[in-house]
Amino acid sequence: MVNRRPERAAALAVKWGVESRHWVEVSATLRDADLLFVTTGAKHALVRAEDLVAAALGRKCDVVVLDLAVPRNVDPAARGLPRIQLFDLDDLRELCCPAAGQPSIAVAEAQRILEEELRRLEATVRARGLAPTLAALHELGLRLAYEEADRVLARLELPSDMERQIVREMADRLVRRVLYPVSRSLREGLSDEAGAGRRIA
């Protein structure tokens, strides 16, 4: 058991019934090790490739190194060296779950749902962006209709208030009947785009 803090190494060694060594003895200790676990919290490689090469000299069996640290604490250059078998967390995941490197059905389904929702959101945003244009078009249509209604009313001889109201209501209904199909067609076009995207997915 080797640790950068000798007192911690000694305590762990007692707990597990093994020997503890000082940190500076790592290179020498490797020569007596067949299996090496590296689990420090260091930010860089602590076990050098040249130390592992020296530890593997003259051996009949490989030195197995398990680098369980994040980030990796064993020099990546040690991978593939003679008599060295280096495994990191990615390797162990592959060994324990061979399908880990394959595309996940659940991930693919989640991606499909996400893409569909993004298309629906885009259609909604575009529809909201269209709303001010439709409102302005409706307002223009009403203004023109009222102008024409007033022009017709001016040609009548003393129209009553009820007749004025009827003419203006007729003008309003005509504008709505003309513009409603246009608005619906534009909105359905956006909806069809989103639906087509869903069918393609």
Instruction: Work out how many domains the chain is built from and give that number.
Output: 2
* Domain assignment present for 136: yes
Domain-ending residue, one of 59, 86, 101: 101
- Is there a single domain that holds both residue 96 and residue 110? no
Asked whether residue 56 carries a pLDDT value surpassing 80, the answer given is: yes
Q: What is the CATH number of the domain that holds 88?
A: 3.40.50.720
- Within a domain: residue 53? yes
Region 71-94: mean pLDDT is 89
Residue 183 shares a structural domain with residue 109: yes
Residues 79 and 110 in one domain: no
Both 89 and 144 in a single domain?
Answer: no
Taking a C-beta distance cutoff of 8 angstroms, is the pair 30, 53 a contact?
A: no
Contact assessment for residue 67 and residue 42, using Cβ atoms and an 8 Å cutoff: no
**The pLDDT value given to residue 49:** 92
Read off the tokens for 97: 């779950």
Q: Identify whether 196 is part of a domain.
A: yes
Q: What is the pLDDT of residues 83-117, one digit of tens each?
A: 999 999 888 877 765 555 555 566 677 677 777 87
DSSP assignments along 149-179, one per residue: HHHHHHHSSS--HHHHHHHHHHHHHHHHHHH
pLDDT of residue 38: 92
Residue in the block written with tokens 């869903």: 198
What 3-state class would DSSP assign to 78? helix
Lowest-confidence segment of 10-19, 102-111, 177-186 by average pLDDT = 102-111
**Whether 86 and 114 share a structural domain:** no
Residues 54 and 117 in one domain: no
Report the predicted TM-score, pTM, of the whole model to 2 decimal places.
0.47
pLDDT of residue 84: 93
Omega before 71 cis (within 30°)? yes
Percent of the chain with pLDDT strictly greater than 70:
83
For 122, other C-beta atoms within 10 Å of its C-beta total 14
Pick the last residue of a domain from 76, 101, 126. 101
Q: Is residue 13 in a domain?
A: no
Residues 113 and 97 in one domain: no
pLDDT confidence band for 189 (50 / 70 / 90): low
| Mean pLDDT confidence for 149-174 | 78
Distance in angstroms (rounded) separating the CA atoms of residues 80 and 10:
33
Based on the domain organization, do 97 and 112 belong to the same domain? no
**Which among 67, 83, 101 is the end of a domain?**
101
User: Quick one: 116 and 82 in the same domain?
Assistant: no
Residue predicted with more confidence, 200 or 92: 92
Question: Given this model, what pLDDT does residue 185 score?
Answer: 74
CA distance 53 to 79: 11
User: Are 97 and 115 within one domain?
Assistant: no
165 in the same domain as 137: yes
Residue 58 gets the label, from left (phi > 0), alpha (psi -120 to 50) or beta, of: left
Residues 75 and 128 in one domain: no
Q: What average pLDDT does the segment 161-176 reach?
A: 80
Q: Is residue 54 part of a domain?
A: yes
Amino acid 50: pLDDT: 92
Question: CA 87 to CA 106: how far, in whole Å?
Answer: 28
35 falls in which pLDDT band (50, 70, 90)? very high
pLDDT of residue 200: 41
Q: Which domain holds residue 61?
A: 31-101
